[in-house]
Amino acid sequence: MSSLSSVEMGSTKQSVASVKWARRREVAREVLQNPLTVIGLVIILLFLLMAIFAPLLTEANQPDPYQSPRDWANIDSPPGVAGHVLGTDSQGGDLLYGVIWGSRLSLQLSLTVVISTLVIGTIIGSLAAMRGGRLDNFLMRVVDVFLSIPELIFALAIAAVLGPSFRNIILALVAVFWVKYARIIRGEIIRVKQAEYVAAARVVGDSTWNIYRKDVLPNAVTPLIVQATLDMGNVVLIGATLSFIGLAQAGLTEWGALVSAGQSGLLAGHWWVSTFAGLAIVLWALAFNLVGDGLRDVLDPKTEGR
């Protein structure tokens, strides 16, 4: 019987890595087969580039780059007039500048909220599912309480209490969104704990922490990744609604705030102010929803192991 020669043995480290990467590429190829997902990814890439290269695309407005520069001479000018590609709002704020710097704020908002809630939710959900018993019951009742207040209304109350500012919107969303992840990870861990490979690991005598780290979490995390991708879009949607109803600082280049600023001009026929900012929100949320849906079809836990 052949056995691995020493040369091959030496290279086991790289070959393990290469096999793991081959597996990831295989999954990636499967995801990219769906055209809708590809469109979503392209849009996300564009937004990413727009956010990163904002200072290059438009000259940063001093002192606060997140307040769009005022061109008092051409207020409410339609798109393409006086050098304003997308036109200006009632205070002469350049809309193109607003949309570009708004993408930075959206990136900031979505990354901070999703990552922090993912971590908090996973910790609490894992504790509840692994420990079980009274702690599980207590944590799940707390989750029930949080979930009985609609997300936006809860966040709205927190942000209003903390005082209107973009930072407070982020804090409010973090305080509200972790619950969703706690519930998902708890359900998945309880499902995975019944699998025989977890019993096999216990028979071998591995510690609970190792079993959690090596067997339970990796197989329970997939639905979390799908939900996180979807929430990268949802979070911006809800954040924009909060700033639309006035919970962000005045004049901020946040898309929701821009749409709100354009609302009064609408009746006077200045349609462009709300439209472009709103379109940016839709594209952002659409992109992440498309990618999230594509991931869900490919990474369905039930068929994954087959």
- Alpha helices of the chain — where are they, by DSSP H? 6-10, 12-32, 35-52, 54-57, 95-131, 133-147, 151-162, 166-193, 196-204, 208-211, 217-220, 222-244, 255-267, 272-298, 301-304
- Number of residues interacting with another protein: please give it, by CB under 8 A: 81
Give CA–CA dist 182/50, Å, rounded: 33
237 forms part of the interface with another protein (CB under 8 A) = yes
Is the Cβ–Cβ distance between 224 and 185 less than 8 Å? yes
For another protein, the binding residue among 75, 123, 127, 266 (CB under 8 A) is 266
Which residue lies nearer to another protein by CB, 119 or 157? 157
**Peptide bond just before 63 cis, omega within 30 deg:** yes
Sole binder of another protein in the list 52, 149, 208, 264 (CB under 8 A): 149
Work out how close the CB of 41 gets to another protein at its nearest, in angstroms, rounded to a whole number.
15
Using the rule CB under 8 A, give the single segment among 3-11, 81-89, 100-108, 126-134 that binds another protein: 3-11
Nearer to another protein, 5 or 62 (CB): 5
Closest to another protein by CB, 58 or 260: 260
Give least dist CB 66 to another protein, A. Answer: 20
Closest CA to 75 of 58, 99, 94: 94
Q: From the list 67, 122, 241, 253, which residue makes contact with another protein (rule: CB under 8 A)?
A: 241
CB of 56 to another protein, least distance (A): 28
User: Smallest gap, in angstroms, from Cβ of residue 60 to another protein?
Assistant: 27
CA distances from 214 to 13, 19, 46, 166 (A): 18, 18, 36, 39
State which residue, 54 or 158, has the beta carbon closest to another protein: 158
Counting contacts by CB under 8 A, is residue 7 touching another protein? Answer: no
Q: Which residue lies nearer to another protein by CB, 58 or 168?
A: 168
For 123, the token pair is 């910790």
Judged by CB, which is closer to another protein: 63, or 305?
305
Structure tokens at 140: 């799940």
Q: Restricting to residues 13-42, name those near another protein by CB under 8 A.
A: 15-16, 19-20, 23, 33, 36
Q: Which is nearer to another protein, 54 or 236 (CB)?
A: 236
> For residues 163 and 274, what is the distance between their CA atoms, to the nearest angstrom?
25
Mark the segment that binds another protein (CB under 8 A) among 71-79, 80-88, 90-98, 203-211: 203-211
Provide the minimum distance between the beta carbon of 306 and another protein in the complex, in angstroms, as a whole number: 6
Dihedral Cα 150, 152, 153, 158, nearest 10 deg: 120
CB of 97 to another protein, least distance (A): 20
- Cα separation values, 293 from 40, 233, 270, Å: 10, 12, 36
Max CA separation in the chain (angstroms): 85
Span interacting with another protein, options 44-52, 97-105, 180-188, 283-291, rule CB under 8 A: 283-291
Residue 131 or residue 202: which is nearer to another protein going by CB? 202
Residues 153-182 that bind another protein (CB under 8 A): 153-154, 156-158, 160-162, 164
**Euclidean distance between CA atoms 283 and 303, whole angstroms:** 31
